[in-house]
Amino acid sequence: MLRPAALHGAGLGLRRSLLGPLQDWRAAHERNADDARAIDFFEVAPENWINVGGRLGKALRSFSERHPFVCHGLSLSLGGPAPLDETLLHKIRRLLDEHAVAIYSEHLSYCSDDGHLYDLLPIPYTEAAVDYVAERIRRAQDILGRRIAIENVSCYATPGREMSEADFTRAVLEAADCELLLDVNNVYVNSVNHRYDAKAFIDAMPPQRVAYLHIAGHYDEAPGLIVDSHAAPVIDPVWDLLDHTYAHCGVKPTLLERDFHIPPLAELLAELDHIRAIQQPRLGRIHEHSRRIA
């Protein structure tokens, strides 16, 4: 089983609309292995690729054979009232095994109730919810044969709240013995919408459980209200929060999310360069410290 250490650097979501440009990028990159504008790993939603064959299936295989991959689920609904979709989990496991995917992640939320709701809805921050979600995560991990990473989600209401988001997230991680996909933009969005300290939230997360990071752009709906859109470039305060995250938990693999208003690939590669520009000074300090110890 591959471990998260198989990943490094800056990654990009492999969207079908980007397949053509990415195939051109790969051909150019393979001709010049020293090309600095690299994509270090890719992320796909397994629901979009399960049982996909033909031209698209071959395209996915051509990438997964050459590059590390992670899978980020959309519809498992870990906090939902409906029974856990074990059929979906078995299909996801086959996809992970077939493509030697290093990490599978899902949202700490729910998105179904006798049918899919097509949104990520908040789980109440309660002790009862911790127990309920942790049991479902443990069952999912048993079926998948690997630990999964849960993602802190952006939310716009906190119904039934009995504890903070940070305390709830930590409690689920501990009770489920799972890993964390720490979404830096979601922390920033929630810190503005719910008026808390984003850096304090980051500092409350257990570094040893962080498998990888997400970063993205968002939309300012109104003063003090941000919508997590994945449809815009990353802004400076989120870049600053990413650097703070590296200071807290080390330089983790970081995935740039862009799902809507996708720009030319060159613009996405420039944002990946920005991620690596933030990573490099901290990696340099780690290497220098290791050299002095040696």
In 3D space, the residue among 159, 22, 35, 132 whose CA is nearest the CA of residue 77 turns out to be: 132
Hey, what are 139's tokens? 């069952």
Residue 11, CA atoms < 13 Å, CB-side half-sphere: 24
Kindly state the percentage of the chain with pLDDT values over 90: 76
Q: What is the mean pLDDT of the chain?
A: 90
Residue 29: how many CB atoms within 10 A of its CB?
17
Structure pTM? 0.92
Q: How far apart are CA 92 and CA 107, in angstroms?
A: 15
Average pLDDT over residues 13-33: 87
Q: How far apart are CA 178 and CA 138, in angstroms?
A: 8
Residue 39: how many CB atoms within 10 A of its CB?
21
Type of residue at 111: C
Q: How far apart are CA 230 and CA 259, in angstroms?
A: 5
Q: Is the pLDDT of residue 136 over 50?
A: yes
Q: What are 175-211's pLDDT values in tens digits?
A: 999 999 999 999 999 999 999 999 999 999 999 999 9
Q: Is the pLDDT of residue 10 over 90?
A: yes
The predicted pLDDT at position 218 comes to: 93
Judge contact between 257 and 214, C-beta under 8 A.
Answer: yes
In 3D space, the residue among 135, 76, 73, 125 whose CA is nearest the CA of residue 104 turns out to be: 73
Q: Which CATH class is domain 4-293?
A: alpha beta
The predicted pLDDT at position 1 comes to: 40
Q: Is the pLDDT of residue 5 over 50?
A: no
Cα-Cα end-to-end distance for the chain: 31
Average pLDDT over residues 56-71: 94
In 3D space, the residue among 88, 94, 96, 24 whose CA is nearest the CA of residue 64 turns out to be: 96
The predicted pLDDT at position 111 comes to: 73
